[in-house]
Amino acid sequence: MRTKIFWSFFILFVFLLFTKNIQAAIDIVFTNTPTNVDINQEFEIDVLLNCSSCGDSYLRAVFFKSGSNYFGFTQNGNGEWVGTSDDKTKYLLVRKGDLVEGTWSGKLRVKPEPESSYYIGPGDYFFKVARYTPSGGATWANEVGLEITGSTTKPSDSLTQDPISNPTTNPTIAPTSIPKPTVKATSTPKPTSTTIAQKDQENNESLVLGLREELNQSPSPTPESGEKKNFPFFALGFVFLGAGFLGFAGYSFFKQKEKGYTNESENGTKDSSFS
């Protein structure tokens, strides 16, 4: 019984000593951290990873309030911004072959995550860097304090206000859009009626112009060479004949009038001599 207790304590002691040596073998230090950042600001920090027995590592930076969960974006080697993810291999990869005598140093580009529910507005936050294994095991560096500045309104708050404003804007849009089709409907027959009237007027004018052209062109055959040769001698003869007849009749009338006048004068002389 005592032998079993002895070996149990011995195994526990060796396990604790072994895990302590592993943890002591991993060291993460970051520098060049600003004291305050804007909520939409990107910045770079310098990271030093000491891990002589490490395989592939994945680095991530986080912001957090005391007693709260983490938030923030880290840019990986593909230029992608990765927030909180269960897949730790999405973060910045530091391969085992990148370690030089168990040490790697480089830049880590990070920025806050305003859409996160763990961001409660501008104020003081903590900031630190983690090293993940492919299986998700984490080793953390010591945190530092910084201030996040910027708008007091979270983007998530503006998103929650959109559904409230949409019902109010929809009724106002609906009545304004109703008269638009009516205006189009009333305006469409106007150009058609005017164009029809204009076409009818143009047709009438073309008909009138056509008739005028026909009337103007009808006496045009008179100056032809054939009609110039046919002089109206026959009609002119009738005119002269009628004039001669009238002249002869007039001459006869005046002659007869003159003869009657002479007879009356002669009779008068006879009557005077008889008396």
- pLDDT tens, N- to C-terminus, the chain (275 residues): 566 666 666 676 555 554 444 444 789 999 999 999 999 999 999 999 999 889 999 999 999 999 999 999 999 999 999 999 999 999 999 999 999 999 999 999 999 999 999 999 999 999 999 999 999 999 999 999 999 999 766 555 545 444 444 444 454 555 555 555 555 555 555 555 555 556 666 666 666 566 566 656 555 444 444 445 565 666 777 777 878 778 887 777 777 777 766 666 555 555 544 44
* Closest by Cα among 85, 153, 145, 147 to 114: 153
Q: How far apart are CA 84 and CA 11, in angstroms?
A: 37
Are the C-beta atoms of residues 80 and 92 closer than 8 Å to each other?
Answer: no
pLDDT at 58: 97
pTM (2 decimals)? Answer: 0.50
H-helix or E-strand spanning residue 244: helix 233-274
Q: What is the pLDDT of residue 22?
A: 47
